[in-house]
Amino acid sequence: MIATKLISRLPETRSGRRAAQGGAGRTSGVAANARLRPPVTIVAHEIADSGGMERQLMKLAEGLLAGGHRVTAVARRCELAGHPGLRHVRVPGPRRPFALAYPWFFLAGSLLTAWRRRGLVHTTGAIVLNRADASTIHFCHHAFARRADGAGRAKRATVLHRLNSRIGARLSLIAERLCYVPSRTAKLVAVSGGVARELRREFPRMASRVTVIVNGVDLDRFRPNDNRRRQARARFRLGDGLVMAFVGGEWQRKGLRHAIEALVLAPSWRLLVAGDGDEERYRGLARAAGVSDRVHFAFILPTTYEAFPLVSLEAAAAGLPLLIARVSGVEDLIIDGVNGWFVEHDACSIARRLQALTDPAQRERMGRSARDSVRPFSWDNVVQRYSALYAELAQDHRAVR
């Protein structure tokens, strides 16, 4: 106390003024950093290196932490590595069936978010009742429900799987109606232009609050790699022939049947399927088509609905030509005839493009174009977009106060 009083009575020198100004500058710099990089609470079922959406959240959180944001993860599972700026608030509860796990997380996650949130709240779709500053929409259930093609989201055709899918769909619609209103969500972040159009159509009161930040892709992890290709061919006994890859679950919605039937018209191709689905049923379809002994380098996704098929970004980054149906998001990626083609929901359309890709020069040319076209989707760009959005939302909070 005495020292403090003595120092306060000393005359101020020029260097002292500079030091004081420097300290003030450092303080204001910290305050500016807090304004530009506010703490964020990410609410999601899982943040992990597993499914496409879960991996997107993991990469986003890693980028935010590296950029100076403090992140609170309210999630059932969080695989993020330890970091001084990270806090995981675990939401206990079941993962399956969805019809039980979804409402359980909605209630428990809402309570834990209200109790443990820090800074801005960023949700992944309609999964909690709390007011969210931003909500990233990977899948618009209202838009999907309007489709008349009958493609469901059940992984298997059993009675229980269909019942689970039906209940889950109904709960998702109710949650969207509750959450996608101005009093609940400040910004809806669509992962593609197509999803943005769906949100504006389905939730007109939120039209002015919809923005687009596309999904990202790890260009180092997903890249052309001849050694990995040889290993995969050896592992799955694919030989040296042409192989198209089908990656993902929900095989009915994503059109696996069309890919199998296309092999009848494209006899030089094999099909490699990677994902979770009704294997017995689709093996039966392959046997009935006479192609069970066959299944390369063309990537195919004849899906009936998709917000932005993440695996298409990964395939393009790996240097594969793309054959994809016209669904939300891919119009931002596909340049028809340059890095791939749009295909219809039928075997003939797919087979015609596969036949064109039997030409090695064509595959090589389209593969290079696919890799080039995905560079703007790097994670550095995506994280910068989210960080700028958070700064804008934080400024809005301060203006309100």
Nearest to 120 by CA among 39, 22, 64: 39
Give the residue carrying structure tokens 């106390």: 1
pLDDT of residue 154: 53
pLDDT in tens, the chain (401 residues): 333 332 233 333 333 333 334 444 444 444 445 567 899 999 999 999 877 788 889 999 999 999 999 999 999 999 999 999 999 999 999 988 989 999 999 999 999 999 999 999 999 999 999 999 999 998 899 988 887 554 455 555 677 778 888 898 899 999 999 999 999 999 999 998 889 999 999 999 999 999 999 888 888 888 898 898 888 888 888 888 899 888 877 788 778 899 999 999 999 999 988 877 788 899 899 999 998 888 645 755 565 545 446 788 888 999 999 988 876 567 778 889 999 998 888 899 999 999 999 999 999 999 999 999 988 888 999 999 999 999 999 988 765 55
pLDDT of residue 305: 46
d(CA 234, CA 17): 71
Residue 91 has which token pair? Answer: 């939401």
Q: Judge whether 134 and 189 are in contact, CB under 8 Å.
A: yes
* Domains of the chain: residue spans and CATH: 38-216+378-396 (3.40.50.2000), 226-376 (3.40.50.2000)
pLDDT of residue 211: 96
Distance between start and end Cα atoms, the chain: 37
Sequence-distant (≥ 6) Cβ neighbours of residue 398 within 8 angstroms: 35
Quick one: 338 exposed, middle or buried, by C-beta within 10 A (0-12, 13-18, 19+)? middle
pLDDT of residue 304: 53
- CA 368 to each of CA 60, 95, 217, 377: distance values in angstroms, whole numbers, following the listed order: 27, 40, 16, 16
